[in-house]
């Protein structure tokens, strides 16, 4: 019968997934059949998609892609691979969002920030001690390459202003606003809505402190603008930015970006 094995069409006489694994891999290899990891042997049929993953070994580009397809299903993965997302600000929101988008296989990322990694960033941002003193763009690109070296990453180590927004973000499907300061958030969102009317924007407001996780939500105040957060809890004296709520909000933004890339515009 004809099946797809690790991304390649293959003829096989094997009748079950584990029988095929015995011929092409090791007993400890992970087996994904039609998008689902199986723990018990299953019969295989014509045109099934089977992925056998060896533990602890970095695969080549085609094989890694086939593994991503196995997890995401083919149509979802292809849309993500074709996606172009710009992330404005690489702090607690932006750095974590970039990592999530890399893990789901978004094909092209633009990372924009002018700052360097400093010690207080370590409480909520996706950086490590070895990154201290590095530009955030470079530190984050380094991390993403350790997750998926085949993603195209563009970096711009500059400050975003009203004057450079159009040039920076033209050609990207989605802009992810990830600034800390309200005036900078407003500047980016308003300028992008005006100058890039066909670009979708995923923004955030209200994720400070440790109030209930359930207060954070995703809303759609206008056609091309999505807003994540509780819309109330800004950082201030006595209520700082802490990893759990910041990452919950980052998860909302990343998931909305995922939905938009696969063609779902509803919140």
- C-alpha to C-alpha distances, 74 to 6, 34, 35, 49, 68, nearest whole angstrom: 12, 10, 9, 10, 9
Tell me the pLDDT tens digit for each residue of 160-213. Answer: 999 999 999 999 999 999 998 999 999 999 999 999 999 999 999 999 999 999
For residue 248, what pLDDT is reported?
Answer: 97
Tell me the pLDDT tens digit for each residue of 113-147. Answer: 999 999 999 999 999 999 999 999 999 999 999 99
d(CA 256, CA 12): 40
Q: Is residue 46 scored above 80 in pLDDT?
A: yes
* Domains of the chain with bracketed CATH: 2-68 (3.10.20.30), 78-261 (3.40.50.720)
Question: Minimal CA–CA distance to 184: which of 109, 258, 113, 99?
Answer: 113
Q: What is the DSSP string of 197-209?
A: TTSEEEEE----T
Contact predicate 31/38, CB 8 Å: yes
The confidence band for 235, taking pLDDT boundaries of 50, 70 and 90, is confident
Is 59 or 231 the better-scoring residue by pLDDT?
Answer: 231
For residue 7, what pLDDT is reported?
Answer: 80
For residue 208, what pLDDT is reported?
Answer: 93
For residue 59, what pLDDT is reported?
Answer: 81
Tell me the pLDDT tens digit for each residue of 57-109. Answer: 888 888 788 778 777 877 899 999 999 999 999 999 999 999 999 999 999 99
User: Residue 154's CB: how many other CB atoms inside 10 A?
Assistant: 15
66-75, 221-230, 248-257: least confident range: 66-75
d(CA 208, CA 160): 23
- How do beta strands 2-5 and 8-11 pair? antiparallel
163 by DSSP, 3-state: which? coil
């Amino acid at each position: 019968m004809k099946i797809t094995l690790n991304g390649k069409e293959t003829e096989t006489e094997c009748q079950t997934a584990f029988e095929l694994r015995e011929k092409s891999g090791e007993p400890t290899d992970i087996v994904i059949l039609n998008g689902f990891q199986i723990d018990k042997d299953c019969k295989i049929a014509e045109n099934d998609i089977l992925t056998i993953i060896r533990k602890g070994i970095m695969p080549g580009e085609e094989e890694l892609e086939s593994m991503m397809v196995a997890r995401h299903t083919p149509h979802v993965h292809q849309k993500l691979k074709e996606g172009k997302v710009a992330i404005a600000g690489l702090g607690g929101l932006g750095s974590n969002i970039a990592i999530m988008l890399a893990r789901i296989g978004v094909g092209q990322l633009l990372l924009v920030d002018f700052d360097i990694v400093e010690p207080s960033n370590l409480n909520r941002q996706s950086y490590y001690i070895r990154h201290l003193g590095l530009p955030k763009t470079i530190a984050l690109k380094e991390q993403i390459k350790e997750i998926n070296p085949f993603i195209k990453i563009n970096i711009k180590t500059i400050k975003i202003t009203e004057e450079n927004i159009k040039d920076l973000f033209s050609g990207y499907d989605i802009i992810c606003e990830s600034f800390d300061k309200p005036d900078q958030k407003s500047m980016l969102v308003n300028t992008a809505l005006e100058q890039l009317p066909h670009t979708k924007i995923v923004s955030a407001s209200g994720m400070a402190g440790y109030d209930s996780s359930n207060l954070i939500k995703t809303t759609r105040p206008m056609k091309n603008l999505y807003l994540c957060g509780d819309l109330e809890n800004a950082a201030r004296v006595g209520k700082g930015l802490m990893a759990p709520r910041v990452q919950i909000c980052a998860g909302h933004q990343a998931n909305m970006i995922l939905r938009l890339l696969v063609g779902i515009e509803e919140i």
